[in-house]
């Protein structure tokens, strides 16, 4: 199961998908995606995240799942 952490000091949200070591990464704007040796996503980091926007999307997702 993915683990989600938020560092208030750096304003970075980290979503750890796998415990495997990252060997490669791609960066697009404020998002870094790390890959393991098999090319699977190991971790996603979102820098300068706006949590208020995240909370709005979370509520929409919860409402969608209910229906």
| Total tally of structural domains belonging to the chain | 1
Question: Residue 15 burial (CB < 10 Å; 0-12/13-18/19+)?
Answer: middle
> Residue 67 — very low, low, confident or very high, per pLDDT cuts 50/70/90?
low
Q: Which of 10, 8, 41 is nearest to 23 (CA)?
A: 41
Mean pLDDT of the chain: 87
> Residue 54 — very low, low, confident or very high, per pLDDT cuts 50/70/90?
low
Question: Residue 64 burial (CB < 10 Å; 0-12/13-18/19+)?
Answer: exposed
Show the domain range for 39. Answer: 3-66
Q: How far is Cα 1 from Cα 29, in angstroms, rounded to an integer?
A: 26
31 forms beta bridges with: 28, 46
């Amino acid at each position: 199961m993915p683990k989600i952490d938020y560092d208030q000091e750096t304003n970075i949200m980290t979503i750890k998908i796998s415990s495997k070591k990252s060997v490669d990464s791609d960066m697009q704007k404020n998002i870094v995606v790390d890959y393991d040796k098999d090319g699977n996503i190991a971790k996603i980091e979102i820098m300068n995240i706006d949590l208020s926007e995240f909370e709005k999307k979370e509520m929409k997702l919860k409402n969608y799942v209910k229906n």
